[in-house]
Amino acid sequence: MSFYSFSKVVVLIGVILGTASGCTTAATLSTVAPTTVAPVSEKSASIVVDGSTGAVLYQASADLPRVPASLTKMMTLYLTFEALKSGRITKTTLLPVSAHAASQAPSKLGLKPGQTIDVDTAIKAIVVKSANDVAVVLAEYLGGTEDQFAAQMTAKARQLGMRGTNFHNASGLPDPQQITTARDMALLGMSLRKHYPGQYYYFVTQDFVYNGKLIRGHNRVLAQLNGADGIKTGYVRASGFNIVTSISDNGRQLVAVVMGGETARSRDAQVVSLVNAYLPQVASRF
């Protein structure tokens, strides 16, 4: 059996198991005559979705299992925004730093055990710096342990209709049990805007100051596309270069996902090309 046939079987089994276990799912993305293109590599996948209607305008290997890398932090932030909205935490809530959180591999903010960090700074550190130590700080505060938080992340994914995703940590650092699909990442991106419009502005942040030092981000697509307002980049060796890009332009909303890029530059070029090609097809809300 080929890799792609096997991958499709894996996804199908995941869907069946999710249904059998009684998981509640939201409506999945609809497809309107998308263009399907063969994948470039076993890491690659992409999808472009009309953010207002959910119509899929383009897809390539969008349902094959892929490694999310730091796209994982989109769900970490989703649950953080949920806690903010419910009043469980505020932007000024101080989060304690454990030895486990401080020990995470880069990219990181360099927190030390026993320190604290406020929620507002923590969110910016994840959006801009993709700080793995900060992701674990939030996970432990909200979930008790990172493992328990990861279980909550997966449960929330099922509620949102993300059928091909399993989270095993809060950061996206390498873990063989952590998988997703391009379609699921697009759905998560759309859900962040829909459910948390009051917090969504964080995703356009390109720098912030921490301990007197200016920390700059590396999502260069924000400066390359009119209307770009997020969301997240990611990279580990197993994933290649990933990105979820959100556009809000003259009443039109679009989400584009590119996974498995060989370089950050080629990934960025691909997502810019996809946005420019398909944004004219996006329905305006005006």
Largest CA distance in the chain: 56
Please tell me the distance from the alpha carbon of residue 233 to that of residue 217, in angstroms, as a whole number.
Answer: 10
Is residue 12 in a domain? yes
Question: Among the residues of the chain, which ranges form H helices?
Answer: 3-20, 73-86, 99-102, 119-124, 132-143, 146-160, 182-195, 264-278
pLDDT, position 145: 98
pLDDT, position 20: 36
DSSP state of 66: B
pLDDT, position 32: 41
Catalytic residue ranges: 70, 73, 130
Binding-site entries for substrate: 232
Is residue 251 in a domain? yes
Owning domain of residue 124 = 3-281
pLDDT, position 11: 39
Kindly report whether the global pTM for this prediction surpasses the value 0.75: yes
Q: Within 10 A of 53 (CB to CB), how many other CB atoms are there? A: 15
pLDDT, position 218: 87
Please tell me the distance from the alpha carbon of residue 96 to that of residue 286, in angstroms, as a whole number.
Answer: 45
pLDDT, position 153: 98
Domain count of the fold of the chain = 1
Is residue 286 in a domain? no
Residue 79 sits at the vertex; the CA angle it makes with 230 and 222, to the nearest 5 degrees, is 5
CATH number, domain with residue 64:
3.40.710.10
Is residue 27 in a domain? yes
Residue 255 near residue 192 (C-beta atoms within 8 A): no
Q: Within 10 A of 174 (CB to CB), how many other CB atoms are there? A: 14
Token pair 């383009």 is found at 58
Give the mean pLDDT per block of 10 residues along the chain (286 residues): 39 36 45 42 92 95 97 98 98 98 97 98 98 98 98 98 98 97 98 97 96 94 95 96 96 96 96 97 75
Q: Which residues pair with 94 in a beta bridge?
A: 118
pLDDT, position 35: 41
**25: CB partners within 8 A, 6+ apart:** 18, 158, 159, 160, 161, 163
pLDDT, position 285: 65
